[in-house]
Amino acid sequence: MDKLKVGVIGATGMVGQRYVSLLENHPWFEVVVVAASAHSAGKTYAESVHGRWKMENPVPDSVKDLVLLDVKDVKTIADQVDFVFSAVSMSKDEIRAIEEEYAKTETPVVSNNSAHRWTPDVPMIVPEINPEHSEIIKYQRERLGTKRGFIAVKPNCSIQSYTPALSAWRKFEPTQVIATTYQAISGAGKTLEDAPEIVGNVIPYISGEEAKSENEPLKIWGHVDDEKKEIVSAESPVITSQCLRVPVLYGHTAAAFVNFKQNPTKEELIEALESYRGEPQKLGLPSAPKQFIQYMQQDDRPQVRYDVNFENGMGISIGRLRPDKIFDWKFIGLSHNTSRGAAGGAILCAELLKEQGYIEKK
């Protein structure tokens, strides 16, 4: 297969590094451009990440000698690629502007950033949950004046640890949810060595995280409104959350409580989790986990140490489902925050968009 040519903008940060690492030997995509700030431009990729490479595997041979371009040199980059993954570190206004600038060069943008998550005609996709939201792209292209350029985003990393379970249970009509997340330090782009303040500590505040946790699932469960030409969020369930940073490298854990309009049994809830399949599984996408959600029967699972890499970090682990004295049920969820929650989720989204015909060779 003739691979699509990909650029990674914001390639030197932790999420950018994860993109580069996961795309090594990808069957459909080939990284041909890496870009970062003007300060890094002109160095080889290996030089730019020397001493700050945070991935488990070494810098891929296929990218180590690529010369970094300036992320703001949009036309030069766009001329060389079929689409880009965005992991740039700028202000939200700057990110919104530069991602639209790329889209207007007829270069699709699949973004890890939060800047466009609430742009009404930008789909925020978890491929197993809301693949149909890509239908909004036709209206976004109308607004941007493009034929093939558009922006799609993936949601916040922390919601991946409980939103998939709630999605599997939508038929039981969840009405209220409490979700407390215990989030890895890599979610802040750091390692335990980079963040001595987290060692032996729990920090009970992550800027902006609780609003994302409470609102983003509702957009994912929303629908494309053809009259308004936007995605309209679902009205329920009502979600309230607290988000804590904990001394773990990879893996966001959630302790969640849920009320249902229906009255499902434990057996029905577990069966719904284990049988849940989405478009990535039906299509056999390269990055798709065969089992999207696993339910773990052991009392002390899921655990980050043993379960965060389930399905190469692309699967979700749920456990400790039990009745609650105030809510109907409570459970524990675990997801890999830089694989499923960040770069891996965006790569899976790009694979879906390619199969749907939205991303193709220029």
Token digits of residue 174:
């969840």
* 157 tagged catalytic: yes
- DSSP codes, 163-231: HHHHHHTGGG-EEEEEEEEEE-GGGGT--TTT-GGGTT--B---TTHHHHHHHHHHHHT-EEETTTTEE
Q: Which of 157, 243, 336, 349 is catalytic?
A: 157
Encode burial over 157-195: b for 16+ CB neighbours within 10 A, e otherwise: bbbbbbbbbbbbbeebebeebbbbbbbbbbbbbbeeeeb
Q: Which of 116, 133, 243, 252 is catalytic?
A: 252
Contact 274, 293 (CB under 8 A): yes
* 243 tagged catalytic: no
CA 226/CA 136 separation, integer angstroms: 8
Crossing angle of helices 137-144 and 92-104, in 10° steps, is 90
For the annotated catalytic residues, the residue numbers are: 157, 252
